[in-house]
Amino acid sequence: GLYRISGRNGFSPEGKIYRCGTNGTNETSEIEVGVEDEEVTSDNMRYAFTRLVQASALCNMAVIKKGKGDDEWHAIGDPTESALQVFAHKAGLPKPVLTAEPFKFELVQEYAFDTELKRMSVVCKEKSTDAYYVFLKGATESVLNQCTKIQFGENETNLDREKFGPELYNELEKLASKGMRVLSLAYRRVIKSDIEISKLTREKADADMIFLGLVGIYDPPRPESKAAIQRCFGAGIEVHMLTGDHPTTASAIAKEIGILPLLWSPELENEGKFNSQLVMTAAQFDAL
């Protein structure tokens, strides 16, 4: 299913989450509620979505909290992780809740984000059940490569890559084309009797994961960016943008701030409609 988050901008956890119905405005990036959209509450939260929220909150080192002497919410840590913490707060399952009664999740091991692997993971113990879980997040291709199953409701289904892959990347492109940074999340339960937790390597921890879903995070450009770029162009200064984002996300942002022509598209570039290649991946750039 597709979910939409409402609320204030910034790091305020005030807001609601809606599961989009068939008449929801799920083709736009604005926060609007369709006539069949359903507000997500603790009473109707679906199992797979609950796991997605848990992964967002626990596979995450950022913290959001109110500042001293003001009512504004502030983030400590990576902006993308902070956005995921805001999401978990709005869902009612932030890290402070998950690490307290009745869940009592406890961090056992962290495998920090690796720029080559493009993912991070954590091993957590749910003390209330004495169960161990691995939660994983990162670039979709990296996460998907670690998964052998996908979560549908309360059931786990074997991952058919030939069928599921194209559908997944189609949804990724939809989100990225709106300028969203897209991450994927996964999890699995670790049977303690099957493996010694204290000797669980990253390679073993990240294997046989269950795919949970995509999250799209929109970090709008600074308002002054477009005007500054126009001044550079007016002064004869050529502007380039270097980013670790997905090419589709980067292209959408570049259009928004005036670096790329609004009419630019990969298809038109491939047809030779532009004088040079305007968007390149790192591999393409290195091959020059």
pLDDT tens digits in sequence order for the chain, 288 residues long: 889 888 877 788 888 999 987 544 444 444 455 557 889 988 899 999 999 999 999 999 999 998 887 788 999 999 999 999 999 999 999 999 999 988 899 999 999 999 999 999 999 999 888 889 999 999 999 999 999 999 998 999 999 999 999 999 999 999 999 999 999 999 999 877 666 777 789 999 999 999 999 999 998 888 899 999 999 999 999 999 998 888 899 999 999 999 998 888 888 888 877 877 888 888 888 888
16 Cα distance to chain centroid: 18
- What total of structural domains would you count in the chain? 2
pLDDT of residue 23: 41
Q: Residue 201 is part of which domain span?
A: 3-218
Q: Residues 134, 47: one domain?
A: yes
pLDDT of residue 34: 55
Q: Residues 206, 234: one domain?
A: no
Q: Residues 56, 80: one domain?
A: yes
Q: Residues 33, 79: one domain?
A: yes
Longest dimension (CA), the chain: 67
Q: Residues 230, 197: one domain?
A: no
Q: Residues 205, 235: one domain?
A: no
CATH number of the domain at 67, please: 3.40.1110.10
CA gap 212, 133 in Å, rounded = 14
Query: 194, 218, 242: which is the final residue of a domain?
Result: 218
pLDDT of residue 22: 53
pLDDT of residue 139: 95
Query: 218, 250, 270: which is the final residue of a domain?
Result: 218
CA gap 127, 109 in Å, rounded = 15
Cβ distance 262 to 255 under 8 Å? yes
CA gap 189, 192 in Å, rounded = 9
Query: 182, 202, 218: which is the final residue of a domain?
Result: 218
Q: Residues 186, 273: one domain?
A: no
217 Cα distance to chain centroid: 6
Q: Residues 171, 274: one domain?
A: no
CA angle 222, 227, 230 (to 5 degrees): 130
**Strand pairing category for 147-152 and 3-5:** unpaired
Q: Residues 206, 246: one domain?
A: no
State the helix-helix crossing angle for 47-58 and 79-90, rounded to 10 degrees: 140
Q: What is the DSSP secondary structure assignment for residue 194, as one 8-state letter? A: G
Q: Residues 239, 99: one domain?
A: no
pLDDT of residue 193: 63
Q: Residues 52, 176: one domain?
A: yes
Q: Residues 149, 251: one domain?
A: no
CATH number of the domain at 243, please: 3.40.50.1000
